[in-house]
Amino acid sequence: MEVQPHADGKEAAQAERSRDILDAAINLFADKGYGQTEVQEIADRVGVGKGTVYRHFGNKESLFLAAVAHARDQLIAAVDVVQSSEADPLVQLRSCMTAILRFFDAHPQVVELLIEERALFRDRRPSLFFEHDEQRRREWGQRLQGLIEAGRIRNLPVPEIQDTLSRFVFGAMFFHYFAGQAPPLADQSQVLFDVLFYGLAAERPTRAES
Amino acid sequence: MEVQPHADGKEAAQAERSRDILDAAINLFADKGYGQTEVQEIADRVGVGKGTVYRHFGNKESLFLAAVAHARDQLIAAVDVVQSSEADPLVQLRSCMTAILRFFDAHPQVVELLIEERALFRDRRPSLFFEHDEQRRREWGQRLQGLIEAGRIRNLPVPEIQDTLSRFVFGAMFFHYFAGQAPPLADQSQVLFDVLFYGLAAERPTRAES
Amino acid sequence: MEVQPHADGKEAAQAERSRDILDAAINLFADKGYGQTEVQEIADRVGVGKGTVYRHFGNKESLFLAAVAHARDQLIAAVDVVQSSEADPLVQLRSCMTAILRFFDAHPQVVELLIEERALFRDRRPSLFFEHDEQRRREWGQRLQGLIEAGRIRNLPVPEIQDTLSRFVFGAMFFHYFAGQAPPLADQSQVLFDVLFYGLAAERPTRAES
Amino acid sequence: MEVQPHADGKEAAQAERSRDILDAAINLFADKGYGQTEVQEIADRVGVGKGTVYRHFGNKESLFLAAVAHARDQLIAAVDVVQSSEADPLVQLRSCMTAILRFFDAHPQVVELLIEERALFRDRRPSLFFEHDEQRRREWGQRLQGLIEAGRIRNLPVPEIQDTLSRFVFGAMFFHYFAGQAPPLADQSQVLFDVLFYGLAAERPTRAES
DNA sequence: GATGAATGAGCATTCATTCAT
DNA sequence: AATGAATGAATGCTCATTCAT
């Protein structure tokens, strides 16, 4: 994929170095916390001078935010992989949710990063990580509407279903993390999904859902 | 019950001052974050000297932890109120969950505090706030078992039901917070509870659950 | 010696408490250093409140100085004991010097106190401890003059002999302490005194001392 | 010897700056005491930022210790100068002792530093300043042994002679300082040396020394 | 007189950021 | 572009002293 030999070679080298810095940053910020991580350490781990880090990201805060965005992109990529390989929307839904749980099982540092983000930028809300991707939300809205019309899921307000799903999956992840339970969460989620799809109650009310 | 006019008067005054300090600490830590809050500010808000805060809590970290514990006790108290006033366990369950959501709606600072706690004491896990109250967990386990035997909820493993419930309610709360959605969450939870109890799917599988 | 039963009983009690405080102060200041010793600790050791210490000595600095003076008085007392029991001035001289070395062997804390005094009150000089007792110096001057006239010691200027003796004995003590050698110094002083009295050289110059 | 124009230029500049800081530190620590000297003042006097001082010496305590070691090296250098220019060991001995006294006359701050060292690091003993230089001590031991065999000094145990000499010269210096007498001590030491070499007594005992 | 709760001045140290080389 | 030496703002904590009880 590396094309132009010269000018772009430089640019590519720069881009790669940026990525290296971000990777180091994610791990260190997640491991020791924003406050306990010195920019010097990040530079050391990458093997460059402190000044270089500053040249690439301007200041510590920007570096942190870029690291969060980088992590988010990784999650999106991980979900996109499974999503594209599924046809049935209901199966797809479950696959995506599992993919999300798996991602956090595999990258617990990202949870730490999210916590740090909220602790640090308490005013900046919503989280950079959860910033609405309207495009994606609309797509899923259509799929859910389709499922309702196909009689496969109950006829509840689509936006609320979406919120419930998010609360369900990210919420499970957060609580799992806060309560200090051991990964993997994805494998413990049988019952979670069972309840999500079929509910807790033994009998459904004969009539009127709302 | 307050008898001796003197000794107890002093002790009571001390205890009240401690509480005042904790209240100020909760609000300031939640508002500005642990790192950005100077002990001096807390003292100022209470109207005492910095030294007095240190006399009561030893150091900033202990003060913070005490504030978290204080907040947790307030949540427990809020839940206990509604719990004791209900007879039917299923209704009780829902009341408690609603009470929890309401508590966080009413005290959003406590969520901030929890985030801060995790960000600061990344090693200390589980959160002081979620430290298992085994007593309480056992009681609820029995109630759920009773509900299963009475045929009111589905026959799923009780501990997993408990985890699912926790993930559900606290998870909803966390996501709500991280995603930056506006309170009140409690009032938006109709669908949440509906899904929790009756599931998302239109049809239940004829047989074999799990 | 305790006479009047009442009013003086109170005074005596006060005086004793003062002494108790000074003893505790000497030991703690010597042991941990002025800076590391809290007035609270001294009060604790005596078993009184901090306020009481302040009532007796005004402030920490005065307390320290009083402790040094107290220690000096103990040395003077120790020397006076041996001095009065000797008739021959030359033997008396040696006895006194030995008594001084013994005192510091027995009370190494006093050396610490002297060091602290100099370190703390660098401007106040001479040391409170070595403040000239003119009375005593004159007495010894006369005795030395007598020894010269009796042909028992060499005819050197008396004040310089006095300085030399002080340098000799206190100097030995200080160096012993600074160099970290183990007590007792008094027992290692045979050679010291031998050199003091008879010199290091094998032959004395035939003539003219200078 | 300075070859490379660049790298060594930097290193040399660093070393010089270190020395500048040490010089300022010696004077300020001696003048105001360790506790009363702020690192900021030292930086100000050298004309650098506080951070630079910390970069060079890590912390205040290390800086202090480095200052003491620096002073000790200066003394050693001063003594080495006179020592090497003398042939006769007895003259050499006296020259060295005089050089020591002169050094402290010229650098009274160093005495202050020694006092501070003892007051601060009461457990660290012997003083960094007096740490035995075994090499040097052995050399002098041989010289003294030679003087005894040549019949020039009395036949006393060599190690005790060494201790006596140290006590004599450093002791004189300490007492001089503690007693608050004015420098120069070196010039007042005629009698001191006279007594050291020829003793105080008018007559030597006919027989048996020791 | 005695006490000890309350006070707040004082200071070492860290680390993000800059900029000369 | 890259570096890392220099900078200085920012802050938790201690402890002598006071004074109401």
Each residue's pLDDT tens digit, A131-154:
777 888 899 999 999 999 999 999
pLDDT score, position B210:
44
Is the omega angle on the peptide bond into residue C183 within 30 degrees of 0, that is, cis?
A: no
Protein CB footprint (7 Å) on chain E nucleotides = 1-9, 11-20
Looking at the predicted structure, is the pLDDT value of residue A16 above 80?
Answer: yes
Among D21, D10, D110, CA closest to D58: D21
Residue D92: C-alpha distances to residues C8, C12, C173 (Å)? 66, 61, 26
Residues of chain C falling short of pLDDT 70: 1-8, 206-210
Half-sphere exposure of A157 toward its Cβ, with a 13 Å CA cutoff? Answer: 11
For chain C, the farthest-separated pair of C-alpha atoms sits apart, in whole angstroms, at 72
Range name among A144-158, A184-198, D31-45 with the lowest pLDDT average: A184-198
pLDDT score, position A138:
92
Looking at the predicted structure, is the pLDDT value of residue D1 above 60?
Answer: no
Q: Tell me how far apart the alpha carbons of residues A165 and A76 are, in angstroms, rounded to a whole number.
A: 16
Closest partner residue to D154 (CB to CB) among C112, C161, C200 is C200
Distance B51 CA to E6 C1' (A): 7
A119 to B114: CB separation less than 8 angstroms, yes or no: no
pLDDT score, position A1:
47
In this structure, which amino acid lies at residue B195?
V
Average pLDDT of chain D?
87
pLDDT score, position A187:
81
Residue C201 lies in a domain: no
Number of domains in chain A: 1
Residue A52 lies in a domain: yes
* Phi and psi at residue B185, to the nearest 5°: -75, -35
C163 to D197: CB separation less than 8 angstroms, yes or no: no
**CA-based R_g, chain C, Å:** 21
Looking at the predicted structure, is the pLDDT value of residue A31 above 70?
Answer: yes
Protein CB footprint (7 Å) on chain F nucleotides = 1-9, 11-20
Confidence of residue A6 (pLDDT cuts 50, 70, 90): low
Closest partner residue to D33 (CB to CB) among C112, C119, C154 is C119
SS3 of residue D108 by DSSP: helix
Average pLDDT of chain A?
86
Give alpha helix (H) positions in chain A: 7-32, 39-46, 50-57, 60-84, 89-106, 108-120, 134-149, 158-178, 190-198
Residue C141 lies in a domain: yes
In this structure, which amino acid lies at residue D161?
I
> Closest residue of C to D166, CA-based?
C175
Looking at the predicted structure, is the pLDDT value of residue D51 above 80?
Answer: yes
Which chains reach chain D with 3 or more Cβ–Cβ distances below 8 angstroms?
C
pLDDT score, position D4:
47
At CB < 8 A and 24+ separation, what contacts does C14-17 make?
C14/C56, C17/C46, C17/C48, C17/C52, C17/C56
Q: D residues 29-58 near C, CB within 8 Å?
A: 31-35
Residue D203 lies in a domain: no
For A24, the token pair is 């180091």
Looking at the predicted structure, is the pLDDT value of residue A194 above 90?
Answer: no
Cβ contact C85:D88 at 8 Å: no
D1 by Cβ neighbours in 10 Å (0-12 / 13-18 / 19+) ranks as exposed
Residue C210 lies in a domain: no
Range name among A191-205, C165-179, D139-153 with the lowest pLDDT average: A191-205
pLDDT score, position A110:
92
pLDDT score, position A181:
79
Q: Tell me how far apart the alpha carbons of residues B153 and B146 are, in angstroms, rounded to a whole number.
A: 9
**pTM to 2 decimals?**
0.84
Measured between CB atoms, does A59 come within 8 Å of chain B?
no
Write the CATH number for C53.
Answer: 1.10.357.10
Looking at the predicted structure, is the pLDDT value of residue A45 above 90?
Answer: yes
Measured between CB atoms, does A137 come within 8 Å of chain B?
no
Residue A91 lies in a domain: yes
pLDDT score, position A7:
56
Confidence of residue D97 (pLDDT cuts 50, 70, 90): very high
User: What is the crossing angle of helices C7-32 and C50-57, to 10°?
Assistant: 100
pLDDT score, position A133:
79
B204 to A198: CB separation less than 8 angstroms, yes or no: yes
Looking at the predicted structure, is the pLDDT value of residue A200 above 50?
Answer: yes
User: What is the crossing angle of helices A108-120 and A158-178, to 10°?
Assistant: 100
Residue D206 lies in a domain: no
A156 to B198: CB separation less than 8 angstroms, yes or no: no
Looking at the predicted structure, is the pLDDT value of residue D182 above 90?
Answer: no
Confidence of residue A209 (pLDDT cuts 50, 70, 90): very low
pLDDT score, position B2:
44
Measured between CB atoms, does A119 come within 8 Å of chain B?
yes
Looking at the predicted structure, is the pLDDT value of residue A3 above 50?
Answer: no
pLDDT score, position A128:
84
CA C157 centroid distance within chain:
25
Q: What is the mean pLDDT of residues D6-34?
A: 85
Query: Which chain C residues are Cβ-neighbours of D130 within 8 angstroms?
Result: 178-180
Neighbours of C168 (CB within 10 A): 25
Measured between CB atoms, does C77 come within 8 Å of chain D?
no
Alpha-carbon distance B6 to nearest alpha carbon in chain A (angstroms): 44
pLDDT score, position A210:
45
Q: Which residues pair with C153 in a beta bridge?
A: D201
pLDDT score, position D74:
92
Residues of chain B falling short of pLDDT 50: 1-5, 7, 208-210
pLDDT score, position D164:
87
Domain that holds residue C57: 9-195
DSSP string, D49-101: -HHHHHHHHSSHHHHHHHHHHHHHHHHHHHHHHHHHT--SHHHHHHHHHHHHH
Considering only residues 57-76 of chain B, list those whose CB is below 7 Å from strand F. 59-61
C87 by Cβ neighbours in 10 Å (0-12 / 13-18 / 19+) ranks as exposed
Structure confidence by residue, pLDDT tens digits, B79-133: 989 888 778 888 899 899 999 999 999 999 999 999 999 888 887 777 888 877 7
Q: Which residue is nearest to nucleotide E3 (CA to C1')?
A: C49
Residue A139 lies in a domain: yes
pLDDT score, position D130:
84
Task: For chains B and A, tell me whether 3 or more CB atom pairs sit within 8 A of each other.
Answer: yes
Q: Which residue is nearest to nucleotide F17 (CA to C1')?
A: C59
The single residue listed with the structure tokens 């120790």 is: C78
Q: Tell me how far apart the alpha carbons of residues D18 and D31 are, in angstroms, rounded to a whole number.
A: 20
